[in-house]
Structure formats: C-alpha cells, structure tokens
Amino acid sequence: MSNRAKLRQKELKKQQERAAENRAANPEKYSTNNVIKGRKTGKERREDQQKKREENRKRRTDPCDIEKITITSAKNPKESVNLTGGLVRFMYYESLLSNTIKATYTYSDTGNTVNNAKTGSNCKNTGTALEKLPIVGGEIASIKIVDNRGAVLEFSPEKNNPLIVNKPTPFDDKTTKSAVQLQLISKEYLENEKLDNRVVKCYEGKISEHIEKLVKENLNTDKSVDLEETGAKNYNFIGNTRKPFYCINNLSTRAVPQGNEKSGNSAGFLFWETADGYNFKSLDTLLGQNMKKSIAYNETPDNGNLPAGYDLKALEYSRSSENNVQGKMMMGAYSTQLRSFDLYNPDFNEEELSSEKGGESKGSQDSLTLAGEELPLYNKDYYVPSRISWSVLDTGSQSGGTTEEQLDKSKEENFDLKNVYNQSIMRYNQLFSATVTVTVGGDFSLHAGDAIFIDGPSLKAETTSNDDIDKKDGGVYIIADLAHYISPKETYTKMNLIRDSSGRKGNHSNRNAAMATQDNFLSNIK
C-alpha cells in the first residue's frame, strides 16, 4: 500500500470515530439515521408514491352508479325482479365485426331475491329469481348505468332497445345462495332467426336503400340507423329466403361510397350495432372521421398529470404492429387477381388490383382515405398478385320495368365485380394492419367505430426534444371492439384499436383527425 493510500485510510478511520462520538453524545439528533428531522426516508417516500398510485387508479376506476337492472318475466309481463343489489359483475360488448351487441350479468341469487321490498320485486313468489320468476330465457332486461363522467348506458322497452335473456347459467351453488350469469342479447339477434323474417323479395335500387328496408322490415326494429348513402350504379338482388344479417353483410362487401368517381376504389362497408343503434358506414368514412377523444399513455402516477389537451389516460397499453407479410399475401391484402366468367359471352377475364402507392396497376390506392401516413408494406417485390378469386359475372339479374325493358337489361352487368370485389378484399384485410389494446377508466360515451387519438413517448435512451413521441404507432385509430367491465369495486373500459396504415397523422388537441400537425406532447407529459 502506498503512503498516500495509508493516509486516506487513516483519515477515514478518524472521521468514523468522530461520527460515533457525536451519535453517542446526541442520540436524539441522530435517531433518524442522520436524516433531517421531518424528512421521510427513501422507503417511506416509495411507499407513499405507491399508495398515491393506487388511490389515483382507484379514483379513475371508481364504481359507477347502477340505477337499475330489472328482469321482466316473459310469461307474465306484470312480474319483474330488480337484481341491482346482487351485482357481482356486468360485462358489455360492442364490435365492428358483430351485427349485434352482447352483455353478461352475473349476480348473487339468494332465497329472498324475489318478493323482497329492498330489491323492488313485484313477483308474487318468494325465492330465487332463477326459480320463482322464473328466468328460463326470453325475459326482458332493463338496464341503466351511469359512469363517473356522467355518460349513460341504458337499455329498456321505453327506449326501444331492451336486452333479452338468451341463456341463464347458474354456478357456485350453495345452501343459502347461488351465483347466476345471464347472457343478454339484442332483440334483433333472435328476429334474425325467425323463418317469417327471411328475405324473399326482389330488391331494385341503391344498396343503402336495401339495407334500410332489411333493418326495418325484416329485423322489425325501431332502433335508430346511422346510414351512409351508397353510390355507383344500382344493385338488384333477390333474397332467396336468406337471413337478414346474411343479406346485409353480403351487400356491405359490394357497396361503394356516394360521389366516388373511380368505381370500386373505395369499396367496403361495415354494418354493426352500438348502444345508440345500428350503423352502416364505409371504410373511407371510418378512417377519415373526426376523432372523439384523445388518450395519453405515460407512467406518471397522478391523474392530474394528464398532458394538456388529452381526454383520457391509459391504465394499460399494448401494441402490435407486426405485419405478417405471408399471411397478408395469402389474404390478398397487397394485390389480388380476379378471374371472372361471362355467361353471355363465354370467356375468362383477368383483372388485377394492387395497393402499391403510385403503382401502375389498375385501381391503385393512391386516393384512399388512410388513418396513418402510408400503407405498412414498403417492399415493392410483394405488390404482385398473391390471391386468385373466381366468380361468375352478375348479369341477367331480374329488374323492374316492362318485359322489353327487362330483356334489354338482362345482359347488363348488375355489379361492377372487376373493381369492387378486388378492392373490398384488400381493404378488409388491410384494416387490421396495426392494432393497439388500451384500457381506460370506465367511459360509456365511447363506441365501436369511433376514432381515437393515442400518444405515448418514443422508446429512446434519452428524451431531448418535444418531437420524441412515438411517430410510428401513435396517432388516429378506430375502435374495433370494446368491453365495459363493471363490478361493485371498479369500472373500466378495454378497447382494441385498429387502422389500415402506419405513421402518426393528426393532432390530439384538434378533433379533425385528418389534420397533420405536431404538438408538444413530451413537454406536457413531463
């Protein structure tokens, strides 16, 4: 050991001895391990931060106000039972890919659930609701729940949107009580199965007109229908005793938005239900709509630290923008080929369509409305036909008018198969190119089909500027499906968000999702 090292060691030993003498002489001063009196230790600060996180999370997901959950007997409409008090869990579902909404209600069923003044039952029998009402399927459920932001989730005969008990499932039976799960569905879900409601007529006109008639006449619903008018030429079809939803979904794939100069270049519609009613919208409208709310994702514990201009804070967030090139090629997401056969002029025709931006293929998607900046595939080697579809040209469809007029029209193509069919295949398969799953505190104002803006910080070793946001995965998304989770302890909403392209476009603080402006996200998030 060098002399310098020996001196340092000797000096350190003297300092330790002096510190020990001071502690012995002043025990009160040094009772907190030389921490200034009143200041918390690191462990105490960490415990306080964790407690604050839990308090804030609880505040964002506080139980909502369950005003009414009543089941009315299908056998005797004058008898009903209020099941609000027995709530265990309520789950509500909406999806772009579902024609109807769904819900499940799990409750604790005791021996005095029925005919109990506290529960509001008016059933004459006494016992469990499952046995004494009884609940066997087909009963009407009236529900009204208010979230912590004041948004209402309501279903009732008075609003023309009651839910129907499809399947009651008892489980966890005990001598004093039983847990029961009720599967709840839309009335139209059952109307779709009735033989009397099958589609048998011949329809002539625009596809949007056909959709409206099928919803009102065949599904027998009084719910509102947010209907986007279709364009291009009229489409005539015969129902052939098919179910209403089958016909509606089939027509959706053949529809083109109104005013589109290039027939088929924006093909593709979706038909789905939300708590507000039915929707029939083009993919162009969905991907180009104004955003409803903006979401920020960060790791700050306090809800008060929500960056300026954002509406909601993500409690959980995960993303998946992996592009399965082989899978997309199999489905024809990048390029398709249609081989059609004309019965009146026996011959095969081949039509190709590519999604390559600026490509030479007929029907390039340059004019499409995109949620992001660009389509997710960059290698032009794969913009080649990878899916072949075979079809017979839709000619000779029965149309209105005199016999001579019908004969004149018989050889006309009823449907622009060459353009619309290829385009719809690609657009449906591109729609899920980027997906994000996010959970927020319960918000009943959100619905499937709404546009959401979401932002999170870029994953970098150091953040040095306000531009360090996730420009690839952030931006505008469409709610593909959502679930509201309601229990006596908490309420939250989980959503799957989708879009057809990559790249951040738009601004969280401007409701116009198409405006491509930058914001100061990270300065706010800090």
Q: Is 324:386 a contact under the CB 8 Å cutoff?
A: no
144: CATH = 2.40.10.10
Rounded Cα distance, 97 and 273, in Å:
9
Q: Considering the domain boundaries, does residue 377 fall inside one?
A: no
Q: With bands split at pLDDT 50, 70 and 90, how would you rate the model's confidence at 44?
A: confident
Q: Considering the domain boundaries, does residue 99 fall inside one?
A: yes
Q: Considering the domain boundaries, does residue 484 fall inside one?
A: no
Single out the residue of 349, 353, 284, 273 nearest to residue 93, CA to CA. Answer: 273
Q: Residue 129 belongs to what domain range?
A: 65-191
Give, in degrees to the nearest 5, the angle at Cα 100 between 96 and 105. Answer: 110
Q: Considering the domain boundaries, does residue 140 fall inside one?
A: yes
Q: Considering the domain boundaries, does residue 381 fall inside one?
A: no
Q: The tokens of 365 are what?
A: 């998607």
DSSP 8-class letter at 85 = G
Q: Are strands 293-296 and 312-313 parallel, antiparallel or unpaired?
A: parallel
What tens digit of pLDDT does each residue of 101-111 get?
Answer: 999 999 987 65
Q: The tokens of 114 are what?
A: 């029925």
What tens digit of pLDDT does each residue of 215-237 get?
Answer: 999 999 999 999 999 986 788 88
Q: Considering the domain boundaries, does residue 86 fall inside one?
A: yes
Q: Is 361:354 a contact under the CB 8 Å cutoff?
A: yes
* Sign of the Cα pseudo-torsion (368, 374, 376, 380, in order): positive
Rounded Cα distance, 85 and 378, in Å:
56
The total number of structural domains that make up the chain: 1
Given strand 335-341, what is the order of strands in its sheet? 348-354, 335-341, 388-392
Q: Considering the domain boundaries, does residue 284 fall inside one?
A: no
Q: With bands split at pLDDT 50, 70 and 90, how would you rate the model's confidence at 143?
A: very high
Highest mean pLDDT among 35-39, 59-63, 281-285, 503-507: 281-285
What tens digit of pLDDT does each residue of 410-465 get?
Answer: 666 666 666 677 777 777 777 887 889 999 999 999 999 999 998 876 554 454 44
Q: Considering the domain boundaries, does residue 144 fall inside one?
A: yes
